[in-house]
Amino acid sequence: MGGAKNCPETPRQRMIGMMYLVLTAMLALNVSTDVLKAFKLVDDSLHSTLSTTETSNNQMMAQFRAMRDDNPQKNGEWYDKAAELTQRSDSLFNYIQDFKYHIAVQTDGAKKADPEARVIQGNDNRDATTQYALSEKNGFPATVLKNMLVEYREYLTALDPARAEEFNITFDVSDKQEQGDKMISWEDQMFHDMPSGAAVTLMTKLQNDVRNAQNEMIHYLMGRTDAGDMRVNKMSAYVIPSSRTVIRGSKYSAKIIMAAIDSTQTPEYYVEGNRINDQGVYEVTASGEGLKKFSGWISFPDPATGEMTKLPFTSDYTVTPPNMTISNKDLTIMYRDYPNKFSISVPGISDESKIKVSVSGAPARKEGGYWIIKPGEGAKQVTISVMAEFDGKMQKMGDEVYKVLDLPKPRAFFKMDKNTYDGSKPVARSVMTSPQAYIDAGYGPDVALQLSFEVVSFRARISGMVTDSKGNQFSADQLKRIKNLDGGTVINLVDIKVRPKGGTSISTLPPFPLELK
């Protein structure tokens, strides 16, 4: 339902209002009692209008009640406000009606007084109204009425502040200034020396004002039931999965929603305080690695107030480095006494804390995002088991069995600075005896492993004599002998013992000849 508009005055109501103003002015001039008969005509017309307004109020409240019963969550609050409005209006209306009856009693006596105060026999009596309305004995009913009108006016203004000026005019109870500085109170304006017939008509007019204000405010409150509803003219269906990757045996979960939009009003989308495109598509170049969080809001005009409203949101995504996994099922091996490095992940699980890895047959540790598994002496095979958490439950992803082999034996080299000698060419005396020269060991291009070794010791056979050297350089005695050799002499390095850097197992390499240039 769209918001209802205020009901404008009918021509009949405007005519009655004009007659009321004219007659009030004439009354102030002490015009004849014929004026009082005209007041009676106005009173009858006001009662006719009252009957129509009250019927409309009752019908609207019945409709409002049905709306409340049909959708209590949406309409209940506004119906309750309308019900309170009705109760307050009835209370003020009934007090005015009781006020009118007491004027009739004061004028015609209790036995002859009309219970509805429609017919006042002594309608020209100027004392009765004053004696009742302004009497301390009766508790100053005029002042009580004034206070009730002020309270009702403030209540209406609180419901609809935009119409405060209108309510102030309709229920104006302010004092008036006459000649000079003399102020006339509202109570005296209404009831002092006022003919009973005119006073009753004035009060019927107040009752009419109350019912008209009630009618307009019921319209207003009924319109408020959908004032905050978003107007939509386009519907779309969306599927939002909890994850785009599903492991066999786990559950695929997705929320299917229907989204409604108003294509005539484009919301504004903000991420981290910056406005993005009008389609609400957020794109960013992924940098770094790990979990990335972002937040923002959607800004749109509130249908009720027109002010911009923010609808906040938060989300996240995970950035991973480009990678691929190629598994050779026929070559599942590990090397003994070597820190074999494994990257273990489960598709669809970005949180590493939800992945559990267990290794049997060798010690294992997590280091720098990798699993380091180092089988020791005697290990024949190693089993890696992986479990992952899905929907709060741990699920086994599988086992992988690896055969444990000894590391391939490296080859020995002679090095000085960046030059490497493999024994195929002679070595200059200055190079061989340089303090920077040393014996090294490693793998050639025929071995895929990239592993550094350290030379523990070796023996040198020089001119038939074998001498020992600790470490990877010639000893002082060996260097002295080499300096006295003739060119073309072959020095054989034998019993070369090496071990992987960080490892403990020692291997003996084949002899390595060096020809002196």
pLDDT category of residue 257 using cuts at 50, 70 and 90: low
Pick from 40, 32, 86: nearest CA to 59:
86
Task: Tell me which DSSP letter residue 99 carries.
Answer: H
The least confident of 2-16, 104-118, 220-234 is 2-16
pLDDT above 70 (res 214): yes
Mean pLDDT of 278-298: 79
Angle value at C-alpha 180, between 177 and 185, nearest 5 degrees: 30
Q: Which CATH number fits domain 333-405: 1.10.10, 2.60.40, 3.40.50, 1.10.287?
A: 2.60.40
Instruction: Please report the beta strands in 453-511, taking only residues with DSSP state E, as ranges in sequence order.
Output: 453-462, 465-470, 490-500, 507-509
d(Cα 1, Cα 224) in Å, to the nearest integer?
A: 9
Angle value at C-alpha 200, between 205 and 15, nearest 5 degrees: 35
Q: How far is CA 331 from CA 219, 375, 451, in A?
A: 82, 17, 19
pLDDT category of residue 6 using cuts at 50, 70 and 90: very low
Q: Answer yes or no: are the C-beta atoms of 387 and 394 closer than 8 Å.
A: yes
Collapse the DSSP code of 427 into the 3-class scheme (helix H, G, I; strand E, B; otherwise coil) and give the result: strand
pLDDT category of residue 288 using cuts at 50, 70 and 90: confident
Mean pLDDT of 327-339: 79
Instruction: Please report the beta strands in 206-287, taking only residues with DSSP state E, as ranges in sequence order.
Output: 234-241, 254-261, 268-271, 274-275
Q: Answer yes or no: are the C-beta atoms of 81 and 223 closer than 8 Å.
A: no
Mean pLDDT of 472-501: 92
C-alpha neighbours within 13 Å on the C-beta side of residue 261: 16
pLDDT above 80 (res 290): no
pLDDT at residue 388 in the model: 85
d(Cα 418, Cα 326) in Å, to the nearest integer?
A: 35
| Of 512 and 445, the one with more pLDDT | 512
| Of 253 and 186, the one with more pLDDT | 186
Q: Which two tokens stand for residue 138?
A: 């009766």
pLDDT at residue 29 in the model: 45
pLDDT category of residue 31 using cuts at 50, 70 and 90: very low
Mean residue pLDDT of the chain comes to: 83
pLDDT category of residue 355 using cuts at 50, 70 and 90: confident
Mean pLDDT of 112-136: 91
| Of 202 and 391, the one with more pLDDT | 202
pLDDT at residue 150 in the model: 95
Phi, psi of 484 (to 5 degrees): -95, 5
Angle value at C-alpha 137, between 131 and 142, nearest 5 degrees: 60
Q: For helices 141-159 and 196-223, what crossing angle results, to 10°?
A: 20
C-alpha neighbours within 13 Å on the C-beta side of residue 92: 28
pLDDT at residue 18 in the model: 57
pLDDT, one tens digit per residue, over 54-108 is 999 999 999 999 989 988 888 899 999 999 999 999 999 999 999 999 999 999 9
Angle value at C-alpha 74, between 69 and 80, nearest 5 degrees: 65
| Of 138 and 368, the one with more pLDDT | 138
Mean pLDDT of 270-285: 82
pLDDT category of residue 341 using cuts at 50, 70 and 90: confident
The identity of residue 157, as a single letter, is T
pLDDT at residue 183 in the model: 87
pLDDT at residue 382 in the model: 93
Mean pLDDT of 315-335: 69
Using a 10 angstrom Cβ sphere, with 0-12 exposed, 13-18 middle and 19 or more buried, the burial of residue 223 is middle
The identity of residue 68, as a single letter, is R
pLDDT, one tens digit per residue, over 420-440 is 888 889 999 999 999 999 999
Pick from 188, 169, 166: nearest CA to 177:
188
Q: How far is CA 62 from CA 8, 57, 89, in A?
A: 22, 9, 17
Domain map (residue ranges) of the chain: 11-226, 269-320, 333-405, 411-515
Q: Answer yes or no: are the C-beta atoms of 196 and 125 closer than 8 Å.
A: yes
pLDDT, one tens digit per residue, over 59-71 is 999 999 998 998 8
| Of 4 and 83, the one with more pLDDT | 83
The least confident of 89-103, 114-128, 176-190, 224-238 is 224-238
pLDDT at residue 167 in the model: 93
d(Cα 212, Cα 210) in Å, to the nearest integer?
A: 6
C-alpha neighbours within 13 Å on the C-beta side of residue 72: 1
Entry pTM: 0.48
pLDDT above 60 (res 23): no
Mean pLDDT of 3-32: 51
Q: Count CB neighbours of 87 within 10 A.
A: 9
Pick from 400, 403, 412: nearest CA to 336:
403
Handedness of CA 24, 27, 31, 32 (dihedral sign): positive
Place of tokens 């409340």: 68
pLDDT at residue 7 in the model: 47
Q: Answer yes or no: are the C-beta atoms of 268 and 256 closer than 8 Å.
A: no
d(Cα 129, Cα 460) in Å, to the nearest integer?
A: 140
The least confident of 5-14, 224-233, 302-311 is 5-14
pLDDT at residue 185 in the model: 92
Task: State how beta strands 333-335 and 393-405 pair.
Answer: parallel
Q: Answer yes or no: are the C-beta atoms of 455 and 473 closer than 8 Å.
A: no
pLDDT category of residue 1 using cuts at 50, 70 and 90: very low
Mean pLDDT of 113-129: 91
* Residue 268, beta-bridge partner list: 299
Task: Tell me which DSSP letter residue 248 carries.
Answer: T
| Of 390 and 360, the one with more pLDDT | 360
